[in-house]
Each structure stands twice: as C-alpha cells, then as structure tokens.
Amino acid sequence: MNRWRQSVGEIQARQRQVTECERAQVALSKVTACFQQMASSLGSDSDGSSLREELAETRALAHKICTGLHRRLLALLAEGEQGQEREHVERMWVFLLTGLETFQKDLKKVGSLQEFFPLTQRKDRDTLVKTGTSGGALEIAARVATIQTPWLAVEDDQIPDMKTQISKMDSLMQEMLQRVNVPLWSVEAKQEAWVEDIKDEPDQDETLEEMMQVELVSQEGTTSNCCHHPRCKLGCILCLLN
Amino acid sequence: PVCPHSRVEALMLEMQDPASGVKSQTQRLVITTIPHALSGEPRLPPASRPLWRRHHAQAFGTVMVAFGYIYPLQDHKRLILKPDASLYRFQTPYFWPAQQWPVEDTDYAIYLAKRNIRKKGVLELHEQEQYNNLHKWLNHKWDFIVMQAKEQYRAGKERKKPDRVVFDCQERAYWVVHRPPPATVSAMEQGMLRLVDPNEEEVNRCIIFTQQCIMRPRVKSSVSIGALVKYTTTYKQHDPFLAPCLPSSPWLTDDATYWTLNMPNVEVPTKMRVERWTFSFGELLSDPRGRDDFRLFLKKEFSGENLAFWESCEDLKWGTAATMNEKAQHIYKTFLARGAPRWINIDGKTMEVTVKGLKHPHRYVLDAAQTHIFMLMKKVRRVSCVRPCRSVAVPASRRRPSLSPIVLRQQEEEQRAKMAASGPVDITQLCRFTAPVPHLAVYSGFCQSQATASPGVVTLPNSAACPSPISVAIDSTPASERRCDSHGGPGSNFPSIVGSREATSPAKESQTPTSRPRATLSLSRFLRRGCAASSVFASLSPKCGVAAGSGRVQPLGMEPQTLSQPRRSANFFQIKVDIPPECRIYPIDSEDEQESPGSAKGAVKEIICPWESITKQDGAG
C-alpha cells in the first residue's frame, strides 16, 4: 500500500515538474520576443539609457529561465523512462536548445551594437540613426514585467555581464549537445505547419500593406502615391480619379 | 568598428547629422504619420563629399538600398534608389547586414509564420514554397518557431501604432534583402563576401588554378559512357557483389576466407586476381602483389627505375602537401637530372616541360613524365600467367585469422624501408660503356601496325652477346582482346594456365591467336637456344619452380583438373626490346646490383636542382 502511494506521489511530482517546464517554455518565448523588439531600437534615435537598462534586465530574466529550465529538464531526462512522457520531455529539450541558439544570436548582435553605438557622451546621440520610431522601451518593458516563472523567487538577483552571459550560454549549449543523447531530428513537433489566427486577437488584425496605405490627400502632389499593393483596389481607383 | 562595411556605416552615421546630414520628411499614412522619410531626389550627397557627382551619388545610393541600409517605402521589392519623389527610410542597425551575423533559416521561418498568423493567405507563392520547405527540414524546431512567432507578434502589438508600422517595414525590408523574391538580382550573392583584393597572392593562385582547370582536356559523355560500359563488362565477374565469388562471399556467409586469400601481400595470389592483372597495365600496377612481381621482373631487366619513378610520382600525388617540395626535389635528383643515379628515359620535350614545372612544384607536376613512363612500361607483354594460384577452396581448418590493417600497414612500411635501404640500382655504374642516350628509349616499343620488328641486338645481364633478339610485343589493346593473345604466341610454347582457366571461366573461349604479325621470340624459345641467360630467367620468377612441384594449385571451380604445369617455365612477362645497333648497353654483372651503391659512387657529382641555383643567383629580389 505504501509503495503504491509513493509511486502516485512520484508521478504527481513529476507531472508538476513537467508543467512547470512547460510554463517556463512559454515564458522563455515571451522574454526572447520582447528582447528582440527592444533590440530593434538599438542604434536608432529612440535608443537611450533606459532602453539599455531594460535590455539588461530582460536578458537577466532570460538567463534565469534558461538555466532553471535546463536543470529541471536534465533531471527529468535523467529519470527517463521511455514512452510518451519522455517524448514530451525530449521535445521540450529541443525547444530549449533552439531557444538558446536564437537568443544567443540576439545577444551577440546586441552586444556588438551596444559597442558600436556607445551612449557615453552627449554627441554620440547625433549619430543615432533616424529610423522613424519614437521609442518602444516602455511598452515592452511592461510586457516583460508580466512574465512569471515558478522559480524566479528562489534564485539570486545578479545580472550577469553580457560577455559572461554569452559564454555561459555557449557552454550550456555545448553541454546540452554532448551530454544528453537526444538527437534533434527525432523530435516531432506538435504544431502544424500553417497556424491559424491566434484566438485571443479577434479584431483589427491588419496586414502591413493595409497599414501602409498612404494618405491620398494631395495638395502639393507629393503624397499621392499609391502603395502599389495588388489588393489595394480602392486606392487605385482613387488614384485614377485623382 | 564592428561591422565590416565600415565605410557604408560611417556614411550612414554621417547622414544622420542634424546639420549636415540628409533632410527628411514626414510620411503621411492613412492611419498615422511617421517621420524621417527620405526622398530619392538627388540631394543626397552629404556636405563632406563635395566632389561627388549626381550619378555617383545615385549609384552609391542604390548600393546602400541593395544592401539594406536604406529601404524603400513604396515598391519595396525593388531595391534601387529612384531619383524621384519616392520615399525611403534608414534601416535600424539591428537589421543591418553584417557577415558576423549570419541570416538564419530559423528566423526566416519565424518571420513567415508571423505573417501567416496575422492573416492567412498573405504569403506570396515563393514564400509559401519556402515556408513548406522549412517546415519539412526544420520540423524538429517547429514548436519553437510557432511559439516564437506568436510571441513576437504579440510583443509587436504592444507598441504604438506608428512604431509598429515602422518595425514591420524594417523587418520586411530585411527579408527582401536576405531572401529576395525569385528572378531578382540580389546584392547578397556577390557583395558581402567578396571583400577580396584581386591582386592578392592567394587570389592570383586561385585564378591560375581555375584557368588550368578549364584547360584540362574533356571527354564527350558518349565516349565516357562507352568506357563505362566496357569497364563493367570486363569487371562484372570480378565483383563479389554482382557475381558469386569463391570460396564464399564474406558478406553473406560471414566467412572471411575470401579476404584472407586476397590480402595485399599474400604469397600466392588467387586466379581471379591474376586474371585481373591481364585486364590492363594499370590493374597490374595498382595491385601491390602484381606490382611486386613486376618490380622483380623489371629489376632484372634493368628498368626498375621506371617503376620506381612511377611509384614516386604516385607518392607525390597522394602525399601530404608539406612534403611535396622535398619529394619533388628528391625525384628530380634521383630520376630526372642528367647523370642521376636512376635516370629514366623520357623524351626531350617532356623532360623540358617537367623540369620547368618543377620550379613551382605542385601535386601533378610530374604527370606528363609519369604518363610517359607508364606507357613505356605498358609495352611489356604479358603472355600467360604462370603464377600458381591458390586454390580457393581452402578447408576451414586451415583458415588463419586475418591480419589487422595496422599490421598490414606496418609490413608495408617495413618493406618500403627495406627497399629504400637496399639503395637504388645505379645505372650509371652498370652501364659502364654507354651513358644513357637521351633521345633513344632503352626499350623502344613500336606500334601494333608495324609488321616487322627491326632487328636489334641487345645483351642481357649475365649473358654473352646473344645473336637472337628478344622482342617485346607491343600490346596496347584492352584486356578483352588481349585475352585472345594470351593463348600464346606463335607456336604453343606457352602451355598456359589459360588452358585450365578455360575450363572454368565461361567468358573465355579457346581461340587461335589473332593474325597480328609479330616477330615475337618467346622466351622459352630463347632459352632453348642455349643462351646462358636461362639462369637469369629462372630467377626472374621464383615461383616457377614452386609451380612445377606444388600440389597447391587447383583451378577455380569444381573439377579438380590436373594442369600441365611442369612444362611451364616461361615468365609471366615477356619483353621485346628494339634498339638500333649503334646503341648498345653493356651492363656489368648483375651481382653488382647487390653491392651497396655507395662504394661505386665516388665519382658521382652532387645534383643540383635548377630552381635551387636560380634562387641562389637571385639574391635580392
């Protein structure tokens, strides 16, 4: 009787861990996506010290998630019985590996951009590229703040240095590839190829082409160009009429 | 700066300068207005470069657009700078092209998935195709890709509308540059990775190499296919995958006897193997066992240096690049220079070309000479196989474990070292009365077509001047035809193993020798004339004696036929030598061969390679 209860307890504990990892996966995607959005403003005229601070915090968060997820997945794999559950864990393992690769790429880019556009002096701002954006740090930072990971409270709070982080991720990936024998290609994705609309975004889902429709008011004649989009029949008709 | 295109980036930054940079306008869209749009009208040249003219500016502007530093707001798929009022914008540095930030397919998949998530059916045809492809081969990453696409989409929506538009434009422009639509000219195909100075040494060598590649001779496919057909016809019985092999195919029965019997340094070669030697000269040479026999033969016939040269050329071709110079020098000193100890006889033109090539030695510098020597050696007639072949049906009890390849290799090395240690046969010492005459081949063959052999006199080691010539039948026909010939020359002086082979191998028929006129004097006839060379020839094929008495020889196949072995005393190789009377070579006793060459070498001068002397003369420069 005792043994049976124990194994149920084990199974439940394991299930909890797996769910934890799944949530961490979602968090990792979120954090890396936000990181990319912020990084796209680097070197532009919306760059600034606040943006860079936010970037640093975001990557620290990502680092925590990555290392925590890695440790837990490793433990789950080590327990490894075969079967559906193991497949699931392997899938998460490959997910983590891919995420690490992508994030590390972004990190390197951000590192070199920050070097290329140092903001230490006032006149450095003159060379920032005028890209037309007005700043994006705040909104994204708000989104980052909503990310939760179960083990966040437990770990320490130091933000690692950029280079250290990159090299740590390098070694992490190396270790993942060498230590655990999970061939990447054996993992079958659960997602389909052509993913439909996201259910929680029902309205105002415009394509870029629609958003890029140019205003057709033309007194000086400079802005009467159509966007040339093939679906823009309305615009074309108006052009003709003009 | 970090990025390799530093000039362009520097210019980009200059253009930002509020005072001297480019003037920008505001783009008015239906939903919003976005600042910092540039027009393509020719006001671009910044103040710092007053010498630029308009078309230069436009060309350079187009380059910037093509590489993705500036992107067009309208007509976004054509990456050119139009000198009109169309609008452009600077690309954000995150999306700048740079070599050290490789463009990954994973990112492209995420981008396409993102666009697809927004609204289905928005991807263009080529994008759809690529998307499907990516789904196929990035399948294991697909979970991540889809999730990341969703998250990026959501994160993008958090931003203010104008910023969102700008970001989407930037991203779209980035991918137009790096994954251009089909049938467009992409700067990425050439520009970024071609930061090469065409005058650099390495590039020069590349260019020369490519030019030489182009100059190499080519063959029509009909010809090469014909050769392939011929090859398969000849060899198909010898391939254990295509035809059953004896004793049994190791791949099927797990019995490794077949491999044991066919090891490179086996003492007694199998019948099939010997038959392969008759296919072509190259076959003989490439089989180390066959080469051994041939070498032995040539050694006694005084043309060992040819084979040695051929082997050195092979060594050069396949050896490591580091040793190439050294090897080339060694070969020159040993074989090619005037007065070299193992001088080979190649015609003047080839010699000239080779020596010239040796100034800048590369792997194939000796190709011409090697081919020449190969042809020379090929003109050695192989008549019949006297070699006793091992019976293939070795009882299991006598099976020995096969040697490991490491041991085999060691044996090879030892053998090679032994041969090297025994020293080269110094032909200058042996031919005391005549130095090798450059314009005459020692063994000059003549073509099939010649009906008569010019009488020549040659003396062989250990023989008194023998009046009867020995002629080498020139035989450059392929194996299938030669097999007819191998049934023996004139007369049946060669009770050949072919007779026994006929019984078993279906491919051969007993044919009378073709009507090729040949003044071949068979060796056995020569021997019977009582020249004192019989002892030499007997020593040429040490296996002959073994053949006579050994009971090991059995034909391939079921019937244990007794062969008429004892009469077989002729050599596997028959040579025909044709030398005009004025050139005679009187070699010294062959025993001198065995002596160490050092003792006789006193008068040999040191040979200097021509390029060495040239560099000495060069001095400064």
**Average pLDDT value over all residues in chain B:** 66
- Give the pairing type, strands B70-72 and B33-39: unpaired
Tokens of residue B149, six digits: 């696409």
- B295 or B132: which leads in pLDDT: B132
Closest CA to A24 of A100, A96, A105, A107: A96
Going B283 to B286 to B288 to B294, the CA torsion angle's sign is positive
Strand B25-28 relative to strand B70-72: parallel, antiparallel, unpaired? unpaired
Closest CB from A112, A140, A217 relative to B158: A140
Answer whether B171's CB lies under 8 Å from B95's CB.
yes
> Do residues A172 and A234 both lie within one domain?
no
Q: What is the per-residue pLDDT for B50?
A: 46
Residues A137, A31 within the same domain: yes
φ, ψ for residue B504, nearest 5 deg: -110, -40
Minimal C-alpha gap between B196 and chain A (Å): 24
By mean pLDDT, which of A56-65, B54-63, B109-118, B169-178 is the weakest?
B54-63
CA distance to partner chain B, nearest, from residue A119 (Å): 14
Question: What is the DSSP track for B457-516?
Answer: ----TT----SS---PPP----HHHHHHHTT-SSSS----HHHHHHHH-TT----PPP--
Interchain pair B141, A140: CB under 8 A: no
| Structure-token match 């010498």, residue found | B51
Cβ distance B116 to A215 less than 8 Å, yes or no, reads no
Nearest chain B Cα to A218, which residue?
A: B28
Percent of chain B scoring above 70 in pLDDT: 54
Q: How many helices (H) and strands (E) does chain A have?
A: 7, 0
CB B396, CB B253: distance < 8 Å: no
Q: Is residue A200 part of a domain?
A: no
Nearest to A105 by CA among A25, A170, A16: A170
Cβ-Cβ contacts under 8 Å, A40 against chain B: 92, 94-95, 167, 170
Predicted confidence band of residue B188 (pLDDT cuts 50, 70, 90): low
- Pick from A98-112, B195-209, B412-426, B593-607: least confident: B593-607
Residue A212 shares a structural domain with residue A173: no
Q: Confidence band (pLDDT; 50, 70, 90) for B319? A: confident
Instruction: Assess if residue A64 is contained within a domain.
Output: yes
Q: What is the DSSP letter of B336?
A: I
**Residue that is written with structure tokens 């040695």 in the block:** B308
pLDDT tens digits, one per residue of B506-537: 333 333 334 333 434 443 343 344 434 333 33
Span A100-124, mean pLDDT?
87
Q: Is B128 on the interface with A (CB under 8 A)?
A: no
Alpha carbons B210 and A186: distance in angstroms, whole number: 42
* pLDDT beyond 90 at B447: no
Distance CA B71, CA B97 (A): 12
Q: Is A190 helix (H, G, I), strand (E, B) or coil?
A: coil
Q: Which of A88-102, B412-426, B544-558 has the highest mean pLDDT?
A: A88-102
CB atoms within 10 A of CB A160: 16
* Contact between B65 and B88 (Cβ < 8 Å): yes
Helix (H) or strand (E) holding B351: helix B348-357
Residues A117 and A216 in one domain: no
B440 class by beta-carbon count within 10 Å (0-12 exposed, 13-18 middle, 19+ buried): middle
Local confidence band at B82 (pLDDT 50, 70, 90 cut-offs)? confident
A171 shares its domain with A218: no
The more confident residue out of B437 and A30 is A30
Q: Which of B164-168, B283-287, B416-420, B595-599 has the weakest average pLDDT?
A: B595-599
Q: Any chain B CB within 8 A of the CB of A239?
A: no
User: Which residue in B16, B35, B139 is closest to A127 by CB distance?
Assistant: B16
**How much is the average pLDDT of B298-312?**
78
- Is the CB of residue B247 less than 8 Å from the CB of residue B392? yes
Kindly determine whether residue A131 and residue B113, on different chains, have CB atoms separated by under 8 Å. Answer: no
- Give the model's pLDDT for residue B20: 66
Lowest mean pLDDT among A182-196, B339-353, B487-501: B487-501
Q: Give domain status of residue A182, yes or no.
A: yes
User: Which H or E run includes A13?
Assistant: helix A2-39
Cα(B505)–Cα(B246) distance, integer angstroms = 13
B521 in helix, strand or coil? coil
Computed on alpha carbons and rounded to an integer, the radius of gyration of chain B in Å comes to 38
Please give the interface size between A and B, counted as residue pairs whose CB atoms are below 8 Å apart: 228
CB burial readout B537-558, b (16+ within 10 A) else e: beebbebbeebeeeeebbbbbe
Domain that holds residue A230: 208-241
Q: Do B148 and A140 touch (CB under 8 A)?
A: no
CA angle B21, B26, B28 (to 5 degrees): 160
pLDDT at B458: 36
Residue B107 has pLDDT above 90, yes or no: yes
Chain A residues touching residue B120 (CB < 8 angstroms): 194, 196-197
The values of phi and psi at residue B159, to 5°, are -80, 165
Nearest to B153 by CA among B104, B108, B107, B115: B115
Same domain, A121 and A215: no
Residue position matching structure tokens 């051969």: B508
Of residues B543 and B407, more confidence is placed in B407
Q: Is A142 domain-assigned? A: yes
Residues 68-127 of B with CB under 8 A from A: 73-75, 85-86, 89-95, 100-101, 104, 106-107, 113, 115-120, 122
Q: Does the beta-carbon distance from A133 to B149 stay under 8 Å?
A: no
Does A109 share its domain with A6? yes
Contact B132, B171 (CB under 8 A): no
> Beta-carbon neighbour count of residue B585 at 10 Å?
20
Which pLDDT score is estimated for B257?
86
- Decide if A122 touches B, using CB distance below 8 A: no
Q: Do A207 and B104 touch (CB under 8 A)?
A: no
Asked if A218 is an interface residue toward chain B (Cβ–Cβ < 8 A), one would say no
Q: Is A114 on the interface with B (CB under 8 A)?
A: no
Give residue B158's pLDDT.
Answer: 87
In a domain, A137, yes or no: yes
The helix (H) or strand (E) run that includes residue B527 is helix B523-528
Q: How far apart are CA A140 and CA B157, in angstroms?
A: 10
- For the residues A102-126, what does the mean pLDDT come to? 85
pLDDT of B437 higher than 80: no
What per-residue string of b and e applies to B586-613 under the rule 16 or more CB within 10 Å gives b? ebeebebbeeebeeeeeeeeebebebee
- A185 and A213: one domain? no
pLDDT tens-place string over residues B30-39: 666 677 777 6
Contacting residues of A for B41, CB less than 8 Å apart = none
* Cβ(B21)–Cβ(B46) below 8 Å: yes
Nearest CA in chain A to B102: A105
How do residues B207-219 score in pLDDT, each as one tens digit? 888 888 888 888 8
What pLDDT is attached to residue B19? 66
Q: What part of A 167-206 touches B (C-beta under 8 Å)?
A: 184-191, 193-198, 201, 205-206
**Contact indicator for B528, B520 with CB cutoff of 8 Å:** no
**What CATH number should be reported for the domain holding residue A181?**
1.20.58
How much of chain B exceeds pLDDT 90, in percent? 6
Residues from chain A contacting residue B24 (CB–CB below 8 Å): 130
* CA-based nearest distance A78→chain B, Å: 21
- Please report whether residue A203 resides in a domain: no
Give A 50-79 residues with CB within 8 A of chain B: none
In a domain, A197, yes or no: no
Q: What is the C-alpha separation between B202 and B199, in angstroms, rounded?
A: 8
Sorting pLDDT into bands at 50, 70 and 90, what band is B277? confident
pLDDT tens-digit readout, B381-435: 443 333 444 444 434 444 445 556 676 677 777 777 776 665 554 444 433 344 4
Averaged pLDDT for residues B244-263: 84
User: Looking at residue B378, what is its pLDDT?
Assistant: 75
If one counts every other C-beta atom within 10 angstroms of the C-beta of residue A202, the result is 8
Looking at the fold, whether A185 and A220 belong to one and the same domain comes out as: no
DSSP state of B35: E
| Cα A21 from Cα A4, distance rounded (Å) | 26
Identify whether residues A8 and A117 lie together within a single domain. Answer: yes
Among A26, A143, A194, the residue with its CB nearest the CB of B155 is A143
* Chain B residues touching A136 at Cβ < 8 A: 159-160, 163, 167
Contact flag B74-A205 (C-beta cutoff 8 Å): no
Selected residue with higher pLDDT from B509 and B293: B293
Are A108 and A164 part of one and the same domain?
yes
The number of CA neighbours under 13 Å toward the Cβ of B466 is 18
CB contact under 8 A, B143 and A189: yes
Q: Do A57 and A100 share a domain, yes or no?
A: yes
* Minimal-distance CA residue of chain B relative to A105: B101
CB B35, CB B24: distance < 8 Å: yes
The pLDDT tens digits of the residues spanning B448-474 come to 333 333 343 333 334 333 333 333 333
Most B CBs within 10 A among A194, A209, A231, hence the mutation to make, goes to A194
Q: Which of residues 168-187 of B touch A (CB under 8 A)?
A: 168-170, 172
When mean pLDDT is compared over A93-102, B93-102, B336-345, the highest value belongs to A93-102
Question: Residue holding tokens 């033969």?
Answer: B297
Residues of B numbered 327-386 whose beta carbons fall under 8 angstroms of chain A's beta carbons: which are they?
A: none
- What is the token pair recorded at B288? 């180390």
Quickly list H helices, B379-467.
405-421, 427-430
Residue A124 falls inside a structural domain: yes
C-alpha B147 chain-centroid distance: 49
Cα angle B496, B499, B500; round to 5: 110
Cβ of A131 and B16 within 8 Å? no
Whether residues A187 and B140 touch (CB distance < 8 A) is answered with yes
Name the minimum distance, in Å, from the CA of A205 to any CA of chain B.
6
The per-residue pLDDT for A197 is 58
Average pLDDT over all residues of chain A = 76
Q: Does the pLDDT value for residue A107 go beyond 50?
A: yes
- When divided into structural domains, chain A yields a total of 2
Q: What is the Cβ-side half-sphere exposure of residue B421, based on CA atoms within 13 angstroms?
A: 6
User: Would you call B74 and A227 a contact, using CB atoms and an 8 Å cutoff?
Assistant: yes
- Residue of B167, B169, B171, B175 best to disrupt the A interface, most CBs of A under 10 A: B167
Please judge whether B28 and A223 are an interchain contact, meaning their C-beta atoms are less than 8 angstroms apart.
yes
Nearest CA in chain A to B26: A132
B453 or B167, which is more confident? B167
> Of A224-228, B273-277, B292-296, which gets the smallest average pLDDT?
A224-228
Cβ atoms of A125 and A119 within 8 Å: the answer is: yes
pLDDT for the residue B10: 76
pTM across the whole model: 0.49
Interface of B with A in 21-40 (CB under 8 A): 24-25, 27-31, 34-37
Across the interface, do B93 and A43 touch by the CB < 8 Å criterion?
yes
